[in-house]
């Protein structure tokens, strides 16, 4: 079997090549310390998947990948609403405070993504934890830019149906799941765990409600960190979530979740 995308086996800068028209899982080679090159490669793969009118399912990697995935949607219309399931806002400034240079990190990907012309809005669900002054600033800035925020405690109080109903109506949704939206007692294998997260059933119900309420045009799952995991608990839970969400999307939109060719 020939792979769909041939990536360089060495960490050089050779361009991504599409080799055949069949869709198969593929890895994107991430050259160490070359974040922008990695992000460009991810964008190219997502664009190739969408060109084939298929549904991208992207597995991280840290959360910085989501910005590059969203860049791959530039040719899709109408615009996408981003649903961000995460313990954190990921809305830190886009420049490094010490160097002043543009930075692409897991803590600031939404601040980049919100400026993409084809992203119509953002809803954050599951936020919690302790905010320092920088965090407060980020939240204020996010709200100023129209981001809707549903904290973990509020979300748990109102339940999946009401959370999904509170998400602004849009014709297309892109969903990103940071595994740290789960409670760390259930998903310990992640870099920045925060107590007070969701149970598996709560996330599953929420994903099902999102799939019923709108048309999901792709999703990713990020921040699973096997070295931090215990007995593969987090990896297993993450794979269950992916399968459950795929099932919910295709059950809700059997014909239109993936657009038919022609
Ligand atoms: Mn995140």
∠ CA(102), CA(105), CA(107), 5° rounding? Answer: 115
pLDDT of residue 28: 86
Residues 74, 167, single domain; the answer is yes
Q: How far is the CA of 156 from the centre of ligand 1 (A)?
A: 19
State the residue for tokens 């992203």: 119
In a domain? residue 259? no
pLDDT of residue 2: 40
Residues 20, 112, single domain; the answer is no
pLDDT of residue 120: 96
Give SS3 for 111: helix
Q: How far is the CA of 113 from the centre of ligand 1 (A)?
A: 13
Residues 22, 119, single domain; the answer is no
pLDDT of residue 255: 56
In a domain? residue 37? yes
| Ranges of residues in the chain whose predicted pLDDT is under 50 | 1-16, 18-21, 256-258, 260-262
Q: How far is the CA of 192 from the centre of ligand 1 (A)?
A: 9
Q: How far is the CA of 180 from the centre of ligand 1 (A)?
A: 7
Q: How far is the CA of 110 from the centre of ligand 1 (A)?
A: 9
Residues 145, 18, single domain; the answer is no
Q: How far is the CA of 165 from the centre of ligand 1 (A)?
A: 23
Residues 34, 127, single domain; the answer is no
Read off the pTM.
0.90
In a domain? residue 262? no
Give SS3 for 174: strand
In a domain? residue 75? yes
Q: How far is the CA of 139 from the centre of ligand 1 (A)?
A: 14
Tell me the C-alpha distance between 126 and 194, whole Å: 10
Tell me the C-alpha distance between 96 and 106, whole Å: 13
Residues 16, 99, single domain; the answer is no
Residues 93, 154, single domain; the answer is yes
Contacts of 124 (CB under 8 A, 6+ apart): 84, 86, 89, 110, 142, 147, 148, 149, 150
Tell me the C-alpha distance between 5 and 71, whole Å: 18
Q: How far is the CA of 126 from the centre of ligand 1 (A)?
A: 11
pLDDT of residue 157: 98
Residues 98, 216, single domain; the answer is yes
Q: How far is the CA of 261 from the centre of ligand 1 (A)?
A: 34
Residues 232, 106, single domain; the answer is yes
Q: How far is the CA of 109 from the centre of ligand 1 (A)?
A: 8
In a domain? residue 148? yes
Buried b (16+ CB within 10 A) or exposed e, 176-208: bbbbbbbbbeebbbbebbbeebbeeebbbbbbb
Indicate the length of the chain as a whole number.
262
Model pLDDT for residues 80-92, shown as the tens digit of each residue: 999 999 999 999 9
Q: How far is the CA of 213 from the centre of ligand 1 (A)?
A: 23
In a domain? residue 38? yes
Q: How far is the CA of 2 from the centre of ligand 1 (A)?
A: 34
For the chain, how many structural domains are there in total? 2
Tell me the C-alpha distance between 191 and 197, whole Å: 15
Q: What CA–CA distances, in Å, run from 122 to 76, 142, 249?
A: 17, 9, 20
Model pLDDT for residues 202-259, shown as the tens digit of each residue: 999 999 999 999 999 999 999 999 999 999 999 999 999 999 999 999 999 865 444 5
Domain of 112, CATH number, reads 3.40.800.10
In a domain? residue 260? no
Residues 164, 209, single domain; the answer is yes
Q: How far is the CA of 181 from the centre of ligand 1 (A)?
A: 8
In a domain? residue 261? no
Tell me the C-alpha distance between 59 and 62, whole Å: 9
Residues 130, 17, single domain; the answer is no
Residues 213, 234, single domain; the answer is yes
State the residue for tokens 């361009």: 15
Share of the chain above pLDDT 90, in %: 76
Q: How far is the CA of 155 from the centre of ligand 1 (A)?
A: 17
Q: How far is the CA of 35 from the centre of ligand 1 (A)?
A: 16
Tell me the C-alpha distance between 232 and 238, whole Å: 10
Residue 91 is classified by DSSP as -
Residue 242 belongs to what domain range? 55-252
């Amino acid at each position: 079997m020939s792979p769909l995308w041939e990536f360089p086996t060495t960490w050089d800068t050779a361009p991504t090549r599409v080799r055949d028209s069949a869709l198969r899982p593929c890895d994107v080679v991430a050259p160490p310390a070359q974040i922008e090159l990695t992000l460009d490669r991810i964008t190219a793969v997502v664009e190739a998947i969408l060109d084939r009118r298929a549904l991208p399912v992207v597995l991280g990697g840290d959360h910085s990948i989501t910005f590059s995935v969203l860049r791959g949607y530039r040719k899709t219309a109408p615009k996408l609403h981003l649903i961000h399931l995460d313990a954190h806002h990921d809305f830190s400034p886009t420049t490094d405070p010490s160097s002043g240079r543009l930075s692409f990190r897991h803590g600031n990907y939404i601040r980049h993504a919100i400026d993409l012309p084809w992203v119509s809005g953002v809803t954050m669900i599951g936020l919690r934890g302790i905010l320092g002054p920088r965090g407060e600033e980020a939240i204020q800035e996010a709200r100023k830019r129209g981001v809707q925020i549903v904290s973990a405690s509020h979300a748990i109080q109102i339940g999946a149906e009401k959370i999904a109903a509170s998400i602004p109506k849009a014709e297309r949704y892109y969903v990103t799941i940071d595994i740290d939206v789960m409670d760390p007692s259930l998903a310990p294998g992640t870099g920045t765990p925060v107590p007070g997260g969701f149970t598996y059933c709560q996330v599953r119900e929420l994903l099902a409600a999102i799939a019923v309420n709108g048309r999901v045009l792709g999703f990713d799952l990020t921040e699973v960190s096997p070295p931090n995991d215990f007995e593969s608990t987090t990896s297993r839970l993450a794979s269950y979530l992916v399968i459950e969400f795929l099932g919910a999307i295709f059950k809700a939109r059997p014909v239109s979740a993936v657009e038919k060719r022609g």
